[in-house]
Amino acid sequence: KQTLLPLLREETSSFIFPCNLAVQRPELQHMVLELLRCIPLLLFLLFVCGLDHFIFSILSIIQHHSFIEYSYQTSHHLSVNVMGESLMAELLRTTIGALNSSFDTEVETSNLACLPQPTGMTRQQYQNTFLPLGTLALLCVAQVYPFRLRRAIAAFYFPKREKTRVLFLYNKLLRQRKNFLYLQRGRVARQARQPPGLGTLLLRWCRQRWPWLRRWVRWRCTLCGTPETPQHQPCPNPDCDALYCGSCW
């Protein structure tokens, strides 16, 4: 509980607050890993759709530029004329005259039946192809909210285990905070031994000379770096210009 152990700024980023709608840092790492797993599937779909469009373009070129049409026309006329008035002429006209014939032939054909008939994918088909992948990516983003219920469900069925986990977390935070304080003290001590730079001295002199500049030229917390507010506590040592926020102080 916050009244029992107020979290520092560095500690807040390592916890998940269920009532916060924003995706927090521990959830963000898991969400990014899940989204990265969708990249191979996206690349595969892009490759398949690109290959489909490439094959469709080739077949369409073949269809439009390989069309050949054949046209064949022929005429045949046979006429036998037998001159004379004799019996033999009459007989020949009767027998050979049956061979007289006349016909015209016109044939048109093409290789249309042998050409490919490609059909390109429509925009709706492309959308239906990528819709499951988009839904999967959306679920990767939205899964952080159902995952927050896991602790509540486990606490409902195993209250003793929940109490043990809370005590363990509390003691862990105390140990981490003790180590953090030890490390930060060493860092501040090393920083104090270093002489201030020219810019720092100039800003310090301007703030002392014109106090109204403090509204725009503000110091930051020595530990967490939060901008200066009226709640910040200066170091009681007059020779030290260190400033601390409420939680760090």
Identify the residue with better confidence: 155 or 235.
155
Q: Give dist(CA 76, CA 105) in Å, integer.
A: 8
Top-confidence range, 94-103, 109-118, 186-195:
109-118
Q: Give dist(CA 202, CA 192) in Å, integer.
A: 17
Q: What is the pTM of this model?
A: 0.58
pLDDT at residue 39 tops 90? yes
Mean pLDDT over 88-94 rounds to 77
> What are the residue ranges spanned by the domains of the chain?
18-74+108-157, 159-195, 211-248
pLDDT at residue 97 tops 80? no
Range scoring the smallest mean pLDDT among 83-97, 121-135, 181-195, 218-232: 218-232
What are the Cα distances from residue 12, in Å, to 50, 168, 225?
46, 17, 15
Bridge partners, residue 72, by sequence: 107
Identify the residue with better confidence: 183 or 214.
183
Mean pLDDT over 3-9 rounds to 69
Q: Give dist(CA 156, CA 164) in Å, integer.
A: 14
pLDDT tens for residues 159-208? 999 999 989 988 888 888 888 777 878 877 777 777 766 666 666 666 66
Q: Give dist(CA 8, CA 246) in Å, integer.
A: 10
